[in-house]
Amino acid sequence: MSFSQIELFLTRLGAVAGLTTLAIALVAVFLSLRREPGREEPGARILLRGPALILVTSVFFTLGGALWRPLPLRLQSQLQAMAVCAGSLSLFGGLALYLWGLLSLRRLFAPSSAFGVRLHANHALVTSGPYAYIRHPMYLGVMAAALGSLLLYRTWTTLLFAVVMFGLVLRAGREEGVLAAEFGLEWETYASGIPKWLPRLRRGRRGSS
């Protein structure tokens, strides 16, 4: 099998995996909206509602389709091979981490935006699965997948996606403020023992956002 055939296979597999993960995420988001809200910031009351999310999703797909054109890059064969390999590892690893985090949250999954955070009524702090190692595994998974898609596909869409998704660093900080207000000492204890983004080499105290 030639390298071009391998690259074609990986790009197709990545598209299937990415769209499947996106579909699962959207289903989880809309199911979460049916649950009774608890602590909710003003911005979340506006944006985290069915009509607003449908509009944002429609704009996302429309813009992504319009910008799906190759970047003006010509990589040498070795650099292209490195980009494809690194991109595939980052994309599939990021998607797997995101789904692991979603599975760990289960019914406690609550979407947030850059303008507001929403928790469910009787929300609990999840400390199992990837949340026993880092505080924001789903955000880290999305950023890794975004970087991987940029390396693998090298389009204007994936470039925009990667740039926008790194804004999750700011969203994570906002979310931690809400969690600290909601859980107090429980959150402080957890956050003091679990790193925000990168797991420690040795396993620390079990304890998520």
pLDDT in tens, 47-57: 777 788 888 88
Does this model's pTM top 0.85? My answer is: yes
Rounded to an integer, the average pLDDT of 103-131 is 90
Q: Would you say residue 209 has pLDDT above 70? A: no
Rounded to an integer, the average pLDDT of 186-199 is 95
Report all structural domains of the chain as residue ranges with CATH numbers, in order of start: 3-67+76-193 (1.20.120.1630)
- Give the tokens for residue 25: 């995420």
Q: With contact defined as beta carbons under 8 Å apart, do 130 and 142 qualify?
A: no
Residue 182's pLDDT is what?
A: 93
Total number of residues shown for the chain: 209
Query: Own/partner pairs for 61-68, CB < 8 Å, 24+ apart?
Result: 63/157, 63/160, 64/157, 64/161, 65/157, 67/155, 67/156, 67/157, 67/160, 68/155, 68/156, 68/157
Model confidence pLDDT, tens digit, residues 61-112:
999 999 999 999 989 999 999 999 999 999 999 999 999 999 999 989 988 8
- Tell me which amino acid residue 199 is: P
3-state secondary structure of 80: helix
